[in-house]
Structure 1
Amino acid sequence: MDLELRHLKVVRAIAEAGSLTGAATRLGLAQPALSTQLKRIERLLGGPLFERGRSGVRPTPLGELVVARAAFLLPTVRDLQEEAVRLAQGRDAGTDRFRLGGTHGPLLGGLVDRLATVRPDAPVSTCTSWSEGEIAESVVRGRLDFALVGACGESPAPLADRLVWREVGVDPVFVMLANDHPQAAREEVALSELAGEAWTDVPGDGCFADCFAAACARAGFTPARVYETDTASCVHLVQVGRAVGLCRATFPTTPGMVTRPLAGAPLRWRHLLGWHEGAPAARRAAEVAAAARAAHRGAVAGSTTYRRWREAHPEFADGSPAAA
């Protein structure tokens, strides 16, 4: 048996986790299966790679050598694979296409519409996921050309060290209320006035949940319940009065509910466009960024509530709001 990359991944996972149990969980393996693999790798390399103790495992001198080489080789091979994919795509660089990835939000459809309008000869395809990291990884690997995702407040964009990111727009987070909710007639709602409510929003792998919890703590309460689910289910829970929802300020008008600003804009959402600077699609980045910003302006214009709020808060008009 020859040493393979998968063997190096196993050794690295064990070293990073500090235990076979943790590494097995990370790799999606049963611990006995991982132990068997490790024994085979150790026989192949001629000696034990880890010393086992009460607190877990630590590399032997041989293990330290293998871990150090794996730390160099695995990223190198990953970069090679990504470069190969982009090179292979280069043969199609003369024919424009737009492979877009996005999280569940109101801007992806607007971006598709604008690109299809200005470039009717260029195919446009889309892929959506609740995970910003998954979309970003697909761009890194060459499966997508552009990522249109969001980030909470000042949190960094996903894979910021490997992709180029540009800000499309910044919005406050609004609250969705049923038409007959006691606060629905208000122009603005204080977060503290919703202290007894159940909440709903879409999931994500950023820090939004933590930022929301912190905002509630500043307002003097802890959310009684938070339903994380898809957009349609969030809307339904709001319409039937089971919860109030969190949404971007550009969320479109929906029968049976209204959106209202949260007083003081305690939560903000940044819309970001990302791409890989070494990919053939990078030459179209300025065009796609302009279309994404136009989509954001269109979404703002389509919301009477948001337009009125922005008129009263001009610091958001240029896309560079002051920190909440």
Structure 2
Amino acid sequence: MELELRHLRTVRAIADAGSLTRAATALGLAQPALSAQLKRIERALGGELFERGRHGVRATALGELVLERTRIVLPAVTELQQEAARFARTPRASACLRLGGTHGPLLGALVDRLADAVPDARVTTCTSWSERQLADQLAEGRLDFALAGTCGSAAPPGAEGLVWREIAVDPVFVMLPEGHARATAPEIALSELADEEWACVPGDGCFGDCFTAACARAGFTPHRMYETDTSSLVHLVQVGRAIGLCRATFPAAPGIVTRPLSGTPLAWRHLLGWHAGTPDADTAATVLAQARAAHTRVAARSDSYTAWLAAHRGS
């Protein structure tokens, strides 16, 4: 019998379970079938891998040697499979750029910039409220680049092998109906909104906790928070149901205004991510440069953000 990867996984499962009975259950096998398979593996390797006892199994010296090799071989094979899947899903030239992003104006602005910067490329997009989901899609080779973000200085979304570069850091603004008592104020203290209900777009990170902490520092506990999609968030603000939390680059919408919070208690860091082994360096540099330029253009279209930048330039 030739040794196969499935045999190494079986040996690993027996060692992890500590007994043939538990290993058989984990592998979905009958114990006699697992025992017979282990004997065939031991014959192929030239000796016993486990000592059987009343309280389970314990690896022999040969078993320890084999297990040590499985700790190297099995992860390496898994990594190979993942890299192969990414390679198979990745266009072999700049014929297609697959972009992912959280909801907001930056993704559309980046697509617009890339249309001029890389005119021969076909650009596709995928949106998600989940930064972790976008990170997973990068790791699996289903996206080439992803626009995501973090609250303040929090770590970027996980997934091994990903590269994240900062595009810009924005203050978090509040979104008010035009008729709100504070709608014309240049800046608003968070404490002035203590009696309001709130709305924001959901996310995986710590933004909700950071908002609650900022409210506590301002001397109050926020009332109800609606976590919903962008269109519903705008509607809730328009009808006066809630105050919205948004990035400073959020575009104007009928019946609402966006205003900065005094002291900038919350910030949002825009990031561009990709897998280290997928796009070439020139493509990554091009997309990053265009993402930064797209952010500048989006920021310039917001009167409230432009005024805030002018007031805080150099601070």
Question: Same fold per TM (> 0.5)?
Answer: yes
Q: Which amino acid aligns with 1:84?
A: A
Moved more, 279-288 or 106-115: 279-288
Instruction: Give the share of equivalent positions with the same residue, in percent.
Output: 57
Give the distance between the partners of 1:61 and 1:104, measured in 2 at CA.
Answer: 53
Give how far 1:250 is off.
Answer: 0.3
Question: How far does the alpha carbon of each residue in 1:10-67 deviate from its partner, in whole angstroms, 9 at most, with x for none?
Answer: 969x98xxxxxxxxxxxxxxxxxx99545638662669xxxx9xxxxxx9756x9899
CA contact (8 A) 2:135 2:159 kept: no
Counterpart of 1:169?
Answer: 168
Give how far 1:87 is off.
Answer: 3.6
Counterpart of 1:40?
Answer: 29
Counterpart of 1:214?
Answer: 213
Counterpart of 2:294?
Answer: 295
Give the distance between the partners of 1:285 and 1:276, measured in 2 at CA.
Answer: 10
Give how far 1:77 is off.
Answer: 3.4
Secondary structure of the equivalent of 1:98?
Answer: strand
Give the distance between the partners of 2:209 and 2:70, measured in 1 at CA.
Answer: 34
Moved more, 166-175 or 77-86: 77-86
Moved over 6 A (4+): 64-71
CA contact (8 A) 1:178 1:240 kept: yes
Q: Which amino acid aligns with 1:210?
A: D
Give the distance between the partners of 1:67 and 1:179, measured in 2 at CA.
Answer: 67
- Count of matched residue pairs: 285
CA contact (8 A) 1:152 1:270 kept: yes
Give the distance between the partners of 2:298 and 2:27, measured in 1 at CA.
Answer: 54
Counterpart of 1:96?
Answer: 95
CA contact (8 A) 2:89 2:142 kept: no
Larger-gyration structure (1/2)? 2
Q: Are residues 1:191 and 2:193 paired?
A: no
Are residues 154 and 36 of structure 1, via their aligned partners in 2, closer, same or farther at CA, if it must alter by over 3 Å? Answer: same
Are residues 86 and 194 of structure 1, via their aligned partners in 2, closer, same or farther at CA, if it must alter by over 3 Å? Answer: same
Are residues 308 and 77 of structure 1, via their aligned partners in 2, closer, same or farther at CA, if it must alter by over 3 Å? Answer: same
Counterpart of 1:151?
Answer: 150
Q: Are residues 1:76 and 2:90 paired?
A: no
* TM-score, normalised with respect to structure 1: 0.77
Secondary structure of the equivalent of 1:40?
Answer: coil
Counterpart of 2:117?
Answer: 118
Give the distance between the partners of 2:158 and 2:192, measured in 1 at CA.
Answer: 37
CA contact (8 A) 1:86 1:280 kept: no
Counterpart of 1:270?
Answer: 269
CA contact (8 A) 1:195 1:223 kept: yes
Secondary structure of the equivalent of 1:127?
Answer: strand
Secondary structure of the equivalent of 1:114?
Answer: helix
Give the distance between the partners of 1:80 and 1:228, measured in 2 at CA.
Answer: 39
Q: Which amino acid aligns with 2:183?
A: A
Give the distance between the partners of 1:106 and 1:69, measured in 2 at CA.
Answer: 50
CA contact (8 A) 1:130 1:204 kept: yes
Are residues 118 and 292 of structure 1, via their aligned partners in 2, closer, same or farther at CA, if it must alter by over 3 Å? Answer: same
Secondary structure of the equivalent of 2:254?
Answer: coil
Give the distance between the partners of 1:209 and 1:262, measured in 2 at CA.
Answer: 16
- Aligned alpha-carbon RMSD (Å): 3.4
CA contact (8 A) 1:179 1:256 kept: yes
Gaps of 5+ in 2: 18-22, 39-49
Are residues 194 and 278 of structure 1, via their aligned partners in 2, closer, same or farther at CA, if it must alter by over 3 Å? Answer: same
Q: Which amino acid aligns with 2:77?
A: V
Secondary structure of the equivalent of 1:279?
Answer: coil
Moved more, 134-143 or 232-241: 134-143
Are residues 69 and 201 of structure 1, via their aligned partners in 2, closer, same or farther at CA, if it must alter by over 3 Å? Answer: farther
Give how far 1:96 is off.
Answer: 3.4
Give how far 1:88 is off.
Answer: 3.3
Give how far 1:120 is off.
Answer: 2.2
Counterpart of 2:42?
Answer: none
Counterpart of 1:137?
Answer: 136
Give the distance between the partners of 1:207 and 1:68, measured in 2 at CA.
Answer: 39
Gaps of 5+ in 1: 16-33, 53-58, 317-324
Give the distance between the partners of 1:83 and 1:281, measured in 2 at CA.
Answer: 15
Give how far 1:254 is off.
Answer: 0.5
